[in-house]
Amino acid sequence: MAAAQTQESEVYFSLQRVLQINTPISSLAFGHASHLFVGSGDGSLRVYDLSTFKVVKAIKGLGSEVSSIVCVKRPSSELRDAWVGCGKQILKFQLDMPKMILEPSDALLTIEVGDNDQDEVNELAINVTKSHLAFSLDSGHVGVVDLKDNSIRRMNQPHTSVSGSVKFIPDWPKEIVSGGYDTALHHYNFTEGDLVARHEMPRSSSTGGTELAPPFVMCTAVGSTGVVAAGTADGHLWLGYGGDKDQNDVSSKKKKSKKPSFWGGLHEEHHVELKIAEGPVVAMAFVSPWKITTSTMLGVVTQYLLDYDSSLGKLKISELWEQKTHSIEKVNALVVDDKRIIIGGFDNNGRGMIELWQKGEQPPAAINSS
């Protein structure tokens, strides 16, 4: 991991725009640079043009909360195709159809992955070659769809409670990592369905001896070099760097050793944990291999710098900045790039709110909303 040479002394992410709908925001995804895909609790999806802040395409009537969206580029189309997790189903839509508002019957493909109507999809992820789609379910099961023939393989050892997140691991084409409300991270070889490694989050207690919320894994992120991050219900940020490609490349050259058989992100000796909040950490995303942005449920958004200390052989975490959401009372989703942070959730009246923050040298004098 090659951390930034100089830490930013002053970073401003100012509120550029607030978008509002009548139902809570449940998921977000970038299309191309100017399109934001927004899923909501009433079973609808909207595509916003971020140059005009207008809705340019929508899907309605999906029947359940849109829990996750994965966008895929298709040649000759400006609008990304969308894989949508909704209820116990995964649906694929081509958004460049002539209709302005699409319905479930317009889906190119519908795949049922849940066992029943209560076994809902929580997160979707697609691998870099766009050949496999991973999913996590309320039942604790984690699975992968082979998009060549739409066959489904469930992992052999599910979480014992809700599986809220799943990610593919860069440079390890057969491996995924998932997080669960059983306070565990699971690392799978998805071609065989085998559990390769498991890490259970330690329970913490307050100074008075009273146990805080269990460390349910609420969200995860995997950086481009293979560092894995997890946010927990008891306010911890956990980082596993045993699978960091940059450090493994350096070590293998020094020791003249072969590449390990499996990604080592859950290795017990190569992790660091930091208490960052009193409540749940519910969303996170890597901005770069050395920067990660997190959000608590109540809207405290923080960016951290990760720096590998080669002399100590340990990863260090330092806070770059912290800000509070302006209108969102509860955060459900977050997406970032190098210049923007977009946060989705709802306000104290239950209305869906999207905050678009823009990076700049100083805060603006006014806030626009629509």
Cα separations in angstroms, 297 against 19, 79, 325, 347:
19, 31, 11, 12
Task: Report, as an integer, the average pLDDT of 177-184.
Answer: 98
3-state secondary structure 334-359: EEECCCEEEEEEECCCCCEEEEEEEE
Distance CA(227)–CA(221), nearest Å, equals 8
Q: How high is the pLDDT of residue 185?
A: 98
Note the residue count of the chain. Answer: 370
* Residue 25 pLDDT greater than 70, yes or no: yes
Confidence band for 362, pLDDT divided at 50, 70 and 90: low
Cα separations in angstroms, 309 against 51, 237, 273, 314:
41, 19, 16, 5
Collapsed DSSP state (helix, strand, coil) of residue 148: coil
Cα separations in angstroms, 315 against 5, 77, 132, 294:
15, 42, 31, 18
β-bridge mates for residue 180, sequence order: 163
* Residue 335 pLDDT greater than 70, yes or no: yes
Confidence band for 11, pLDDT divided at 50, 70 and 90: confident
Confidence band for 360, pLDDT divided at 50, 70 and 90: confident
Give the chain's radius of gyration (CA, Å). 20
Distance CA(248)–CA(246), nearest Å, equals 6
**Residue type (1 letter), 24:** P
The pLDDT mean for the chain works out to: 91
Q: What share of the chain is helix, strand, coil (3-state, %, to 5)?
A: 5, 50, 45
Handedness of CA 84, 123, 163, 345 (dihedral sign): negative
Convert the pLDDT of each residue in 128-171 to its tens digit.
Answer: 999 999 999 999 999 999 999 999 999 999 999 999 999 999 99
Confidence band for 5, pLDDT divided at 50, 70 and 90: very low
Convert the pLDDT of each residue in 88-99 to its tens digit.
Answer: 999 999 999 999
Q: How high is the pLDDT of residue 68?
A: 98
Going across the sheet that includes 217-222, the strands are 217-222, 228-232, 236-240, 271-275
256-263 contacts, C-beta under 8 A, 24 or more apart:
262/172, 262/175, 262/187, 262/189, 262/196, 262/197, 263/169, 263/172, 263/175, 263/187, 263/196, 263/226
Distance CA(231)–CA(168), nearest Å, equals 17
Task: Report, as an integer, the average pLDDT of 4-22.
Answer: 77
Convert the pLDDT of each residue in 196-220 to its tens digit.
Answer: 999 999 887 655 555 568 999 999 9
User: How much is the pTM?
Assistant: 0.92
**Residue 77 phi, psi dihedral angles, 5° rounding:** -120, 130
DSSP character string of 231-300: EETTSEEEEE-TT-HHHHHHHHHHHTPPPPSS--TT-TTSEEEEE--SS-EEEEEEEETTEEEEEETT-E
Convert the pLDDT of each residue in 242-295 to its tens digit.
Answer: 998 776 554 444 455 667 889 999 998 899 999 999 999 999 999 999 999 999
Convert the pLDDT of each residue in 36-87 to its tens digit.
Answer: 999 999 999 999 999 999 999 999 999 999 999 999 999 989 999 999 999 9
Q: How high is the pLDDT of residue 256?
A: 53
Pick the closest to residue 25 from 267, 299, 313 (CA basis): 299
Is residue 246 within 8 Å of residue 196, measured between CB atoms?
no
Q: How high is the pLDDT of residue 10?
A: 66
Distance CA(339)–CA(355), nearest Å, equals 14
Distance CA(95)–CA(57), nearest Å, equals 7
Distance CA(28)–CA(33), nearest Å, equals 14
Q: Which CATH superfamily is domain 12-363 in?
A: YVTN repeat-like/Quinoprotein amine dehydrogenase (2.130.10.10)
Lowest mean per-residue pLDDT among 25-34, 98-107, 325-334, 357-366: 357-366
Q: How high is the pLDDT of residue 144?
A: 98
